Structure 1
Amino acid sequence: MSAKRIAVARLWFEGNSFTPGVTGLDAFQSREWNAGPDALARYRGTATELGALASFLEVRPGWQATILRCASAQPGGPMGDAVFAAWLDEVVEGLRAGGWDGVYLSLHGACITESDPAADLTLLRAIRGVIGPDVPLVASFDPHGNLSPEVASLLDGGSIYRTYPHVDMDAAARRALAQLERMLDGAPRGHGAMAKRPMVLHSFHMRDAGGPMAEVWQEAREREGGAVLDASLLGGFAWGDSPHAGPGAMVFSTSPALAAATAGHLADAIAARRARFDVALPTPDAALAAALAAPDGLVALLDPADNPLSGGICDTPGLLRVVLAAGLTVPTVFAFLHDAALVARAGGAGVGATIDVALGGQVTAAFGPPVPAVAVVERLTDGRFTNTGPMERGAPVDLGPTALLRVGAVRIVVASRKEAAIDPGFFALHGIDLDATRLLVNKGKNHFRAAFADRCSAILECDTPGPAALDLAALPFRHVPRGYFTR
């Protein structure tokens, strides 16, 4: 096996145009802002893109990978222009060294910055510009990217996650790396094509377990093979105000015509199912009543409008207000609020102390005022655990210091950092026995189901105010045509 020298970089960030504030360097440094051997070592053995790269390299001892800047942050407001420029300048400077046989990028596809609504396209243009037309360039993406069709022409290969919840991040990386290896072994380079359709879809019905997107994923799989090297789908990210919003397909083939035809067919297959992506959600009061009437066992009540994995701030008080006002007597857990100041107060008071609190509404009052309550401090933690569920399995998580508060029968997790409560390790850290819990109220959506669908007798969602609210037409889009929201 001949020696190969590749460069690797990563920017995994999904920007919500309607989330208050800007996502700064601190958000990346608290999650992932690494380079060099440490960047790879952190994810070795995990179900992530860099975990897949580590495994790929272990069985190819002749390959040398230079790991340039790898960065990720939880979805949030637009990425700071200065942070994006720092990432791109560092990666471009690293690539200027030259001598690369190929380049692999781990991207999200829905990155926006303060001034750039198509940051993934910007970085790909810059990287192609520095490495030139002859160095093979491949990338992996999240299906909720808002990608320009030009992206496919800048790449020689690539792939997109095919599960939602995303439990195949590593598999997408392996597919992209396999295309890179194929080219470096002398096979003809792939030709990319992307087809988009003028609409914005909610992602509630994009799960791979069934429904409209699962049907199109099946069509994509059936079209792969032979000249079609990879056929992947994009659902788009509804709250990213990008001129490239909307669903579609990205295909790589040894035949440019076949790539274009396949991408067009798959994009049409998504568009033909447009009505089936529509969703209506009950009010918090109605959803809570339905949850309490659900079959025995753990019941989840989700607040997708403040889902941190859609750019939520984990601070909106609407659903929590309804839950506390109900005077529940069943064991209930609320996950979670992002409020470092409240955690510090609880830590200062100590376990067992009773404190007056104002819950939620700290970042902005736009989604409702804080909920006043008297809470008991039940537990304090350092916020560190390792994912044990199927999403990013084995990856470390750092919530910063956390506090578990109790208001009546409701236990409320408060964290210093905004990391989604979608892994069993999150609850184990706080000493929460979910088998003894009746109601789990969670700021989440589809990704929650990866580890908890089999544990819950019912999962319900409700419509509340928040950065990822259901009514897209009410949001102040600037780059997405208004016609994209109506059929």
Structure 2
Amino acid sequence: MPHIAVARLWFEANSFAPEATPLAAFQSREWVAGDDARARYRGTATELGGLDAFLRERPEWSATMLRCTSAQPGGPMTDQAFATWWEEVAVGLASGGFDGVYLSLHGACLTESDPEADLTIIRLTRAIIGPSVPLVASFDMHANLSPQLVGLLDGASGYRTYPHIDMADAAWRALRLLEARFSGRRLHGALAKLPQVLHSFHMRSEAGPMAETWALAQAMESPALPDVSLFGGFAWGDSPGAGPSAMAWGESADGARAAARAVMAELAARLPRFAVALPDGPAGLAAALEAPPGLVALLDPADNPLSGGAADTPGLLRLLLEAGPPVETVLAFLHDPEAVAEAAALGVGAPIARLLGGRSTAAFGPPVAFAGVVERLTHGRFLNQGPMEAGSPVDLGPSAVLRRGALRVILTSRKEAAVDPAFFELHGIALGEVRLLANKAKNHFRAAFAARCAAIVEADFAGPAALDLAGLPFRHVPTAWRGAVGVA
């Protein structure tokens, strides 16, 4: 009757974002523990939704839910936020009595002082539970993994889809490795790295170089080699473990090592296909307006919240105001609590004139003067329809919609990516009546919207996740690794 401990810290840090990510960002999004934690995730397409389903199929198992949290990607986690989370988890782990431990991690977490926070978590966990208690983890496919991980873990797995719609499956795979360990089966881990830093534009799982390599990795799996996972890395996470990696777990150390190296060789053979070229903003807007009839998306990946963007850069809004496209247009979104508060104080139908964008930093352009009316105010809460994180609650805080002519601008008090149809329903936007959806988003947007859009156009703007990596002040990525796909 195994009894396991579960803890979660899911956070992807952009080293070049303008603001650190505080404890409040975690507490306002996901901050649960104890008896209520499993209920919070039940039925959701998340790792801990997968954990709940796994445990319900194994009533002889029990779990102690230690602190579980996540935040939208952003600047490095403050040291205070990390210490608050870890101190609580450490006390729980030290209470003992666990047959195993499962960690739901991202793999690209950084703090203000630690460029390898996930590795630190695993090291600290192992130090508390000792060498004999099995320890497994799941990771996002954008994890920047250190080869040292496999010597500390008894098993691990990662997402195999991008957009990420298999979070629950990744948990199941990791937990099955834990189950195998309980049955007396000891697996050997291996991790191979590719000395590159890659953009994620061509890492989608429906087709392309990453999808092909994923398929080859999964074809290697067998009863003797139960998990082979491929990770693309996160380009804006300045870490010694930055870049792609392959992790394999097998009965034979040599077999696991050979599989990991073979997967990396397959990815290396496809490196030229990861190169990216995007139009600038005006060219992207022109291409979007020339697309076939229907909803067309113009994406600003440089300020994508799910790449650590601030949802605050002004370039996309400035372009729309200057170009004035004569079609129904929605900008999603600007993270601006002060503007929301002003709109709420003025009320629906009131005129509003203020600066928007560039609130957190002027590094990506000065704020933009906006004059329009307050069209809608909301409480900011909805449930994701999915497929990504389906069933998960989202809280934007109070939000507002401003209108100027054919342009509507969504403002939120909290930063949560606009990648789910329920985001737009909350704001009274019938997407069937919209021609141009200008969104601070990238690949995750496609999970729910690829089938809804006549075309999706990505354009290059200024922002913390911009296309050109050459000028970024990397400090921790090994110098020899900065030669691929625009990294100096």
Q: TM-score, normalised by structure 1?
A: 0.98
- List per-residue Cα deviations over 1:15-39 (Å, max 9, x = no partner): 1000012111000011011111222
CA contact (8 A) 2:145 2:245 kept: no
- Structure 1 residues 199-254: Cα deviation after superposition (integer angstroms, max 9, x where no partner): 10000000000000000000011000121010001100000010110101011111
Q: State the Cα deviation string for residues 276-314 of structure 1 (Å, max 9, x = none).
A: 111011010000000000000000000000000000000
Q: What is the RMSD of the two structures over their aligned residues, measured on CA atoms? A: 0.9
| 1:400–1:416 contact (8 Å) kept in structure 2 | yes
- Alignment deviations for residues 119-171 of structure 1 (CA, whole Å, 9 cap, x no partner): 11111011011111111111100011111011112111111000000000000
Q: Residue 336 of structure 1 is aligned with which of 318, 330, 333?
A: 333
Check whether the contact 2:19–2:360 (CA below 8 A) recurs between aligned residues: no
Aligned position for 1:85: 83
Counterpart contact for 1:377–1:404, Cα < 8 Å: yes
Question: Aligned residues, how many?
Answer: 484
Which ranges of structure 1 fall in alignment gaps of 5 or more residues? none
1:254 is aligned to 2:251: yes
What residue number does 2:351 align with? 354
**Residue 484 (structure 1) shift:** 2.4
Letter in 1 for 2:400: A
Matched residue, 2:55:
57
Q: 2:412 aligns with which of 410, 415, 418?
A: 415
Is the Cα–Cα contact under 8 Å of residues 472 and 485 in structure 1 kept in the other structure? no
Using the alignment, how far apart are the partners of 1:26 and 1:455 within structure 2?
A: 34
Give the deviation of 1:181 after TM superposition.
1.3
Q: Distance between the aligned counterparts of 2:281 and 2:37, measured in 1?
A: 42
Q: CA deviation at 1:89?
A: 1.9
Distance (Å, rounded) in 2 between the aligned partners of 1:34 and 1:25: 13
Secondary structure in 2 aligned to 1:42? helix
- 1:289 and 2:286 are equivalent in the alignment: yes
Whether the 8 Å CA contact 1:7–1:103 is kept in 2: the answer is yes
The CA deviation at 1:486 is 2.2
1:327 paired with 2:314, answer no
Instruction: Decide which of 234, 239, 243 is 1:237's aligned counterpart.
Output: 234
1:456 Cα offset (Å)? 0.4
Which amino acid in 1 is paired with 2:389? E
From 198, 205, 210, the equivalent of 1:208 is 205
Amino acid at match of 1:172: A
Q: 1:181-200 residue pairs with structure 2 within 5 A?
A: 181-186=179-184, 188-200=185-197
> In the aligned structure 1, how far is the partner of 2:97 from the partner of 2:182?
14
Q: Which of 52, 55, 71 lines up with 1:73 in the alignment?
A: 71
Amino acid across the alignment from 1:137: L
Displacement, 1:359? 1.3
Partners of 1:248 and 1:270 within 8 A in 2: no
Distance 1:429 1:423 in 2: 11
Q: What is the CA distance between 1:455 and its match in structure 2?
A: 0.4
2:87 & 2:218 partners in 1: Cα distance? Answer: 37
Q: How far 1:435 sits from its partner (Å)?
A: 0.6
Residue identity opposite 1:396 in structure 2: P
In 2, are the aligned partners of 1:190 and 1:229 still within 8 Å (CA)?
no
Separation (CA, whole Å) in 1 of partners of 2:83 and 2:256: 33
Instruction: Kindly provide the amino acid, as one letter, of the partner of residue 297 in structure 1.
Output: G
SS, match of residue 339 in structure 2: helix
Query: Residue 299 of structure 2 contacts residue 456 of structure 2 at CA under 8 Å; is this kept in 1?
Result: yes
Match of 1:169 in 2: 167
Residue 122 (structure 1) aligned with residue 120 (structure 2): yes
Partner of 1:12: 10
- Structure 2 letter corresponding to 1:387: N
What is the identity, as a one-letter code, of the residue corresponding to 1:82? Q
The AA in structure 2 aligned to 1:402 is S
2:342 equivalent in structure 1: 345
Q: Who is 2:445 aligned against?
A: 448
